[in-house]
Each structure stands twice: as C-alpha cells, then as structure tokens.
Chain A
Amino acid sequence: MPQDGMSAIAHEQSPEGWRSIVTDWSADKQTFHVPWGKAMMWIFLVSDTFIFSCFLVSYMNVRISTAVPWPNPSEVFALQAFGTDVPLLLIAIMTFVLITSSGTMAMAVNFGYRGDRARTTSLMLITAAFGAVFVGMQAFEWTKLILEGVRPWENPFGAEQFGASFFMITGFHGMHVSFGVAYLVIVAIKVWRGDYERAGGNYEIVEIAGLYWHFVDLVWVFIFAFFYLW
C-alpha cells in the first residue's frame, strides 16, 4: 500500500469500531487507507448507484401509477424451448453468465496480487468474453421485443410505460457492461505487456477494474429482482 511512514504508523495504532472512523477523519492526513484509485472507483460507484436507483425508482413509480395492467414479464420474456414456453429463460441464462464472469474476475484479482501475469490476463479476457456474451444475448432480447412491437411509447402487452422502463434500464446496464468489456480488455493487455511490472509490480488496477465489474453484476441482481421477477 503506498502510504507514507506517518500514516502507516497511525494506521497500526488506530482503534477499532466508531473510534477508528473518528481517528481516520479527524487527523490531518489521508482518510481512506486504500490506494487513491480504489477510493475514487468506490466513490464513482456510489454515484452510479444513485443513477441506477433513479431509474429503478422511476420505474416503480410509473408501474404503481398506471391504471393499465403491466405486461407480465414471465410471459413477455418467455422463450420457446423443449417444446414449451419457459418463462425468463434467456434472463436466467444471462444472470448465470454474469455471475460466472464475476467469479472469473475475482480470480483474476487474486492472481494479479500474486504477480501471475499469464493467469491474470487470461482470466480477465475470459471475464470480458462472458461480458460480451451477455451483451450479445441482450441484443437478441431487444431485437425480439422490438420485432414484437415493443417501443418506448407503446407495446402490445399492456401499460405503455413498460417499453420506456425496459429500454432505459436494461440499455443503461448493457452500456455499463459494454464499457466494462473494453475496460477489462485494455487492463488485460497492459497486464500482459508487463506495464504494471515496470511500475513496481503493483496490480491494484486489476482490483479496481474488478470493482467496476462486480458492480455491474450487482446492479443486475437488482434489475433481475425488480424488473423481471415483479
């Protein structure tokens, strides 16, 4: 951890519990004992939490306030499989793909801190590949719904607000996944080239990229519960 001697000493002597919060915030020194990049990523993720929350809360609001029945997600997102309509089949597969990618990302962070460049790079690329698969399946889902006549202003299944909420929420999430794929590929290439080895073997960047990726998975947990299961 890149800390100067003073804060490292203060850190070791600092008390536990609420007292540790008081000491961390009150002294004339660094408050968060983490690399600045990690602190900034966390703060960015808090702001992103508020953005997604605004979307989900406005979705809740329009869904409560409409007098027209809301389309049943189990039926709208059902797929024909095994000769029958399986509800939410694609969504379930997308969920498992994203969780799998979160697992490979966690592994990548672990191997990064061990300095295992080959494994870190390949696990990050696998994570990015799962992300790309997720976005591909989302594109399929969008195409299917658009062909069925779902628009942000109307749809054949029920309340008009359905389309606006669906495209806004899943679109913004899919955009996050897409950016995440690009981010992971860039960091993976830099790990492979040995950029961080030259910078003193510091692989915190892998963990920071991982924070972003896990957040994308986290948001999907809430979208899955509130948009697809409601």
Chain B
Amino acid sequence: MATVEEIHEAAGPQQVRHEAHESHGQQHPIKIYFWIWGLLFVFSALSYATDFIDDGLFRWGLILLFMFLKAGFIVAIFMHMAWERLALMYAILGPPLVLLVLIGLMAVEGDYTLLTRLDFFSEPPPISAPEH
C-alpha cells in the first residue's frame, strides 16, 4: 500500500507543490483525496467492527487508534493542514491540547462524585449497633 508521501512524490517534487501552493492555493493531485477517502472508509468500518469484540483495554486501544487516525487524516489532508505553514499549524492545533487538563480534572472529579454518591445515596447496610 502506498503511503501518503509516496503518492505525493509520484505527483511531483516538493518544489513544484510549494510553488503551486504559493500561487493557486491548496491544489493537490486528486489521487490523494481518493486514497484518504478509501482509508477513512476502512477505518470507519474497523472502528464499527470494534463494537462486536469484548470490552476491555484492547477494544479501547483500537477505538482510540482508529479515531485518531481518522481525525488525523481529515485534518492533515482534507483540511490541508499538512501543507500549511507551521505558524498556522501550531496556532490551531496547539491550544486544544490544554483540553487534556480539563479531561483529567473532570475524570478525577467524576470519580469523587461517584464515590460520594455510593457513600451517601446507596442503601444503608444493616446495622447491628444498638438504636440508642
């Protein structure tokens, strides 16, 4: 299977692409879009297939893998981020990374809430201690 780089190299040397980018906006060989389109279909089918395997770390590893592959291809190729200058790339892709902090905080907080609920809202255990 040809990689994205190979497809691009086949389409023309780096220099030609840069010049095209400078003068006519994002113009790339149509072949690369068909490749990514096909890959997105395959990854979607595979991530749907994970619904049929047993829950666990392996399944979640696959779900996240296919999710990031799909997201990466959409952003890099369909949205042309791979060909943008670094200043734009980092300005757009960098800030969302802080969301990892939010995810971490909310996961910890959710666990705490769950434990609190189990502690206070669940059926009281049978107590054998005297009433008074």
Interface residues of A, Cβ cutoff 8 Å to B: 1, 8, 11, 17-18, 20-21, 24-25, 31-34, 39, 42-43, 45-46, 49-50, 53, 57-58, 60-67, 74, 87-88, 92, 95-96, 99-100, 102-103, 105-107, 109-110, 113-114, 203-204, 207, 210-211, 214-215, 217-218, 221-222, 224-225, 229
How many contacting A-B pairs (Cβ < 8 A)? 156
Contact B84 A34 (CB under 8 A): yes
Question: Using a CB-CB cutoff of 8 Å, which residues 67-88 of chain B contact chain A?
Answer: 67, 70-71, 74-75, 77-80, 84-88
8 shortest interchain CB distances as A-B pairs: A64-B110, A65-B113, A24-B87, A103-B37, A225-B67, A65-B110, A61-B106, A61-B110
Q: Give A96 to B22 CA distance when docked, in angstroms.
A: 34
Q: CB-CB contacts of B58-70 with A at 8 A, as 1s and 0s?
A: 0000011011001
Contact B22 A1 (CB under 8 A): yes
Report B63 CB to chain A, min CB distance, Å. 5
Q: CB-CB contacts of B85-101 with A at 8 A, as 1s and 0s?
A: 11110111001100100
Contact A214 B74 (CB under 8 A): yes
In the complex, chain B residues whose CB is within 8 Å of the CB of A64: 107, 110-111, 113-114
Stretch of B3-11, B39-47, B124-132 with 4 or more beta carbons under 8 angstroms from chain A = B39-47
Residues of chain B at interface, number, CB under 8 A? 56
Q: Give A58 to B28 CA distance when docked, in angstroms.
A: 39
Contact A207 B25 (CB under 8 A): yes
Please name the residue on chain B nearest to A20 by beta carbon. Answer: B86
Contact A33 B25 (CB under 8 A): no
Given contacts A42-B88, A102-B40, A103-B33, contact A65 B27 (CB under 8 A): no
Contact B40 A107 (CB under 8 A): no
Q: CB-CB contacts of B20-55 with A at 8 A, as 1s and 0s?
A: 001111111010011011001100100110111000
In the complex, chain A residues whose CB is within 8 Å of the CB of B118: 67
In the complex, chain A residues whose CB is within 8 Å of the CB of B75: 214, 218
A-B contact pairs, 7 of them (CB 8 A): A8-B22, A57-B99, A63-B110, A65-B117, A100-B37, A102-B40, A217-B78
